Structure 1
Amino acid sequence: MNEEKHIASAFDRDLEAIQALIMKMGGLVEENLTNAARALEDRDTELAEKVRAADKVIDKLEEEVNEEAARLIALRSPTAGDLRTVLTVMKIATNLERCGDYAKNLAKRTGVLAEMNPIEGAGASLRRMAREVEEMLRLALDAYLRRDAELAETVRHRDLDVDQMYNGLFREFLTFMMEDPRHITACMHLHFIAKNIERMGDHATSIAEQVIYLVTGELPEEPRPKGDLTSRQDLGPELEQ
């Protein structure tokens, strides 16, 4: 019995260390998203470069999470419930890493847009959208720490708000391009940025769904609420990193 308690205690300590890495990773992703949106609005290429550099730290943290999780599985032989927790952590890390990539993509376009005539209101609108996604990420990670499936469910439904914000921006950019062809290049860049932010909302929602699975043992039965209505009129393929 004492040996079993010792093994359980060692597993808990190792898991706590991995969770600390996840929280650090999440904090950096949130900060990078905030900085990328601010850099875009302020046309601050120096801040944008800071975002790109910070993404390397996020990538490194994901590698560390996966390495520690694999070591934990190999050394502690977790039970089914504990194994589900470890696998959830790894999936959360993957989603956070992808969010970091999208934030980096925002920063990459800032330098290009800084040399073009600004599109009125675009920077502020994108920053509002980014703040909504940042809040979704924060709540999803809080739900994980608290094992709160109800909170995770609220994150799923907030993704609909992000989709609707994206739809509105898409229409605005389309109007700008139709009214003045000189705006086409800038609006194309801004559209890709909006799409990247929308995809970050999808990844925050994926984290929330993993939390629901961790707590209940089942993924949500209801389809994920979606409000992206642009799929048939998109301007082009989403830019990957």
Structure 2
Amino acid sequence: MSLHLERDLELLKKNIVQLGARVEAVVNRAIRALLDRRADLVEGIFIEERLINQKEVQIEAQCLSLIALHQPVAVDLRLIVAVIKINNDLERMADFANNIANRVLFLSQSPPIDFPSSFTGSMLKNTRAMVHDSLQSFVTLDALLARKVIVMDQVVDEVNRQMYVDLQALMKVDAASVESAVSLLSISRYLERIADLSTNIAEHVLFMIDGDVVRHQSAITSVQ
């Protein structure tokens, strides 16, 4: 590897890690706004999401420039390809955090609705952990941690399915809760998509480490 390529790859990794930290922060901010009914946190999420969009475009351009200038192969090429995909996944995560913030605005102006315990416990906890651990697996090139993230996605999927059951039951007995319940269902779906994107990142990390394409495989059912 040339010194120029090594330098440029280190800068690329630094930039994507910084973007990941910003996205993790905005996801956590959206969750905090939801739990605390903090409409005052929402505007900051909107602003940060726009800045993340700009950074995503810059990193994509940086990746394409690296490929054109250095024509990398093997491990170096896998790194750049993984960063291109992770970069897109992070931008989409921020979009979903932005969507959550919009729903928080509505909920903050509506009568309080009780969140199912599986939502405030398992779903929020696991989604936060998946975002953090997927990014950490990239930083440390930890294949075991990446596989752990993939397994955790099953838990979030199950809670999201249960949310539909629980909130539909609530709407049948409390007509006044319908609009708030629909917003909470949307938030559950957004969180489930954030978890899916964390799984994508973990899969990209595994590809970067050993070249294995994990996407669309159903074989990973336990942490190896």
* Contact 2:123 2:155 (C-alpha < 8 Å) held by counterparts: no
* Contact 1:143 1:208 (C-alpha < 8 Å) held by counterparts: yes
Distance 1:158 1:225, change over 3 A: same
Distance 1:18 1:206, change over 3 A: same
Give 1:109 deviation, angstroms: 1.1
Give deviations 1:54-78, integer Å, cap 9, x for gaps.
1011111111111111111111121
The match for 2:96 among 102, 112, 120 is 102
1:41 counterpart residue number: 35
The number of aligned residues is 220
2:192 counterpart residue number: 198
- Percentage identity across aligned positions? 30
TM-score, normalized by length of structure 1?
0.85
Runs (4+) off by over 4 Å = none
Residue identity matched to 2:39: T
* Contact 1:159 1:225 (C-alpha < 8 Å) held by counterparts: no
Does 1:129 pair with 2:123? yes
TM-score, normalized by length of structure 2?
0.91
2:24 counterpart residue number: 30
Q: Is the deviation greater in 172-181 or in 199-208?
A: 172-181
2:67 counterpart residue number: 73
Point out where structure 1 has 5 or more consecutive residues left out of the alignment. 227-241
2:218 counterpart residue number: 223
Give 1:80 deviation, angstroms: 3.2
User: Could you say what the CA RMSD is over the residues aligned between the two structures, in angstroms?
Assistant: 2.0
2:51 counterpart residue number: 57
Does 1:176 pair with 2:170? yes
Instruction: Give the 5 Å matches for 1:11-22.
Output: 11-22=5-16
SS in 2 for 1:141: helix
Distance 1:39 1:107, change over 3 A: same
Point out where structure 2 has 5 or more consecutive residues left out of the alignment. none
Give deviations 1:88-113, integer Å, cap 9, x for gaps.
10100100110000000000111111
Give 1:128 deviation, angstroms: 5.4
